Amino acid sequence: MRSWKLLSLTGVLALAAAAPPAHSQAGVTVEIAIGKSVAMNVPADTGSAFPADVGVLYCWTRVTGAAGAKVTHVWIHGADSTSVDLNIGGSPWRTHSSRKIAATATGEWTVQVKDASGAVVGSKTFTIGG
């Protein structure tokens, strides 16, 4: 049995006001947010700076114009990078990936979102520690 939570109109308006900016390229539009969790397909505890002991972060992405394709999240920290391929089932489509963050991995991070051809269609930069 599923348990559904209802958002009040105020909660819905707050989510709309907090929506991340959209990036667009070649008909594909993405909204990106970095946060400590994803709840009910919505990013939570988002920000642009996180403590060194955050442990895990999530890159949430809303993709429009890429139904049936794949996008890739590329997590970049200095010379280190990790790629996560994600299937896009419809348009718009919400998806996310996560990355364990070592307490020593401080500094600037970037997550790039690439379309099926490898073109960067959006990115988000954030800081760990500091």
pLDDT at 119: 94
Tell me which of 52 and 15 has the higher pLDDT.
Answer: 52
pLDDT at 4: 39
pLDDT at 20: 52
Separation CA 86–CA 95 (nearest Å):
7
Residues 39-47, mean pLDDT to the nearest whole number: 95
Question: Which of 50, 54, 100, 109 shows the shortest CA–CA distance to 77?
Answer: 109
Separation CA 27–CA 36 (nearest Å):
29
Q: Each residue of 18-55: b (16+ CB within 10 Å) or e? A: eebeebeeeebbbbbbbbeebeeebbeebeeebeeebe
Tell me which of 25 and 36 has the higher pLDDT.
Answer: 36
103: left (phi > 0), else alpha (psi -120 to 50), else beta?
Answer: alpha
DSSP string of 31-87, one letter each residue: EEEEEEEEETTEEEEE-SEE-TT-EEEEEEEEEES-TTSEEEEEEEETTEEEEEEEE
Tell me which of 12 and 99 has the higher pLDDT.
Answer: 99
Query: What is the pLDDT confidence band of residue 11, given thresholds at 50, 70 and 90?
Result: very low
Residue found under tokens 């400590």: 36
pLDDT at 27: 81
Taking only the tens place, the pLDDT of each residue in 66-124 is: 999 999 999 999 999 999 999 999 999 999 999 999 999 999 999 999 999 999 999 99
DSSP type of residue 4: -
